[in-house]
Chain A
């Protein structure tokens, strides 16, 4: 899932259908019922309630729903049947925040197969995800995938896919275990709570990314992961953070033992795309997000002396070798023969200008080598072992969407 960075600060929201589909087989009551169930699907997971507002009474509801055609006074004109189906506005203080628009030129259906039209309930659940603060997800089963995926089934029994549940609970916390509030329409089947998961709350303290001092940083398939304690942030190739709020280590890296709460170093192995997370004297090997059998392995298996740990690991594209750094020394590991090259460890001063004991080292998407330490980074042009003039640079503004004057401890030299 991906968060937009905005969410509602209250747990009860009001909604109203301001305009209904023209010439649709769906009655106004059915449309209102479907909206109710689509909102409830989200509310159930986080303990939020959604109340239908009476027209022209009191203040405007947060979520105003319209069925509109073509240009309708926002920047997302509809395009007739097919193409774009609907959109919604993220939470915020602007009057349009939370509003949800459906293309009135679609054939909206309920309880039919795909061929009859577009399932209004499925699209409504997706759009209300935006209205509550979620962005599009690439997870295969997520309702927040941008493409229409067909009918979502019985609205009164619908339950969000796990990816979407986790996303909304990151924003609003998990709903109370008490029975579901009295339904205002047809009875709902309260979904069972997933067992064995600790309660999460959006107010739970999370580390500050702008203070730097990451445990590990790795470029994994074009995205840069910043690890700090049991959390990590992801920076997309576009330079955009997936979310300013960090994700939980153990929810993403499936199979990583709970007792591993710090990742010392991480890198993506170019030879087979596996991702290696180092912690203490061990490392864990992942294929995508899943832990591979045989993990953990000992650093001694890579040829490091017994008891040794690493500060940083990276694979240098110029020679395909893997560099394991500890303090002011480094070992060069040959993936092809699966052993450390003779003559190592050597002094890190090969990398002219680089800090000793870096937090981590990673390769950028254009082949540059980046050393990170504290709140600063050193850039080495592709193939170069001399830090570029002006290094180190402050990390926060360049990598993590932090203000230039972000407070933080100076990098240890």
Chain B
């Protein structure tokens, strides 16, 4: 059984997934909770992008990949990309 990630790992991972375009940015005027399905889908896309096994879970390999040195730009150019172009 995969050990449960710590609350801090989950929080950092959501931040990472948002920063690199896998999750939509939070609305500035409201707190936003990600649904488990949305989070799992985002993790799966990230895992596919990174060449990892698509588990949809914040497993050890996924967390380790998130800690790798990388380029600052988002991987998924959705809303984040549009924001960047506007500026």
In the complex, the answer to whether A146 meets B69 with C-beta atoms within 8 Å is no
- CB closest residue in chain B, given A89: B84
Asked if residues A240 and B76 are in contact (CB atoms below 8 Å), the reply is: yes
Roughly how many angstroms separate A129 CA and B13 CA in the complex, as a whole number?
27
B65/A90 in contact, CB under 8 A = no
Per-residue interface assignment for chain B, residues 14 to 44, with 1 indicating a CB less than 8 Å from any chain A CB and 0 otherwise: 0000001110000000000000000001000
Does A76 contact B68, Cβ atoms closer than 8 Å? no
Residues on the B chain within 8 Å of A2, using CB: 77
Q: Would you call A148 and B68 a contact (CB within 8 A)?
A: yes
- Residue A130 is within 8 A (CB to CB) of chain B in the complex: yes
- Assess whether B51 is in contact with A84, with CB atoms less than 8 Å apart: no
Contact partners of B81 in chain A: CB under 8 A = 4, 135
A89, A140, A146 interface centre (most CB from chain B within 10 Å): A146
**Does A75 touch B at the CB level, under 8 Å?**
yes
A237 at interface by CB-CB < 8 Å: yes
Classify chain B: how many residues form its interface, as a range: 20 to 34
Contacts A88-B73, A146-B20, A240-B77; A138 near B50 (Cβ below 8 A): yes
Q: Is A32 an interface residue (CB 8 A)?
A: no
Residues of B within 8 A of A237 (CB): 41, 45
- A47 CB → nearest B CB, Å: 26
> What 1/0 mask marks residues of chain A from 1 to 25 whose CB sits below 8 Å from any chain B CB?
0101000000000000000000000
- Say yes or no: is A234 at the interface (Cβ < 8 Å to chain B): no
Contact assessment for A82 and B20 in the assembled complex, using a CB-CB cutoff below 8 Å: no
Asked if B1 lies at the interface with its beta carbon under 8 angstroms from chain A, I say no
Q: Chain A: residues with CB nearer than 8 A to chain B?
A: 2, 4, 74-76, 78, 82-90, 92, 94, 96, 106, 118, 123, 126-127, 130, 135-136, 138, 140, 146-148, 222, 236-240
Contact check, B75 vs A118: say whether CB atoms are below 8 A apart.
no
User: A238 is contacted by which of B69, B73, B76 (Cβ under 8 Å)?
Assistant: B76
With A135-B77, A140-B51, A146-B20 in contact, do A238 and B70 touch (Cβ < 8 Å)? no
Known: A75-B84, A138-B48, A146-B20. A4 touches B72 (CB 8 A): no
Inter-chain CA distance A194–B65, complex, in Å, is 33
Q: Is B71 an interface residue (CB 8 A)?
A: yes
Closest B residue to A96 using CB positions: B87
Do the beta carbons of B76 and A87 come within 8 Å of each other?
no
Q: Is the CB of B70 within 8 A of A84?
A: yes
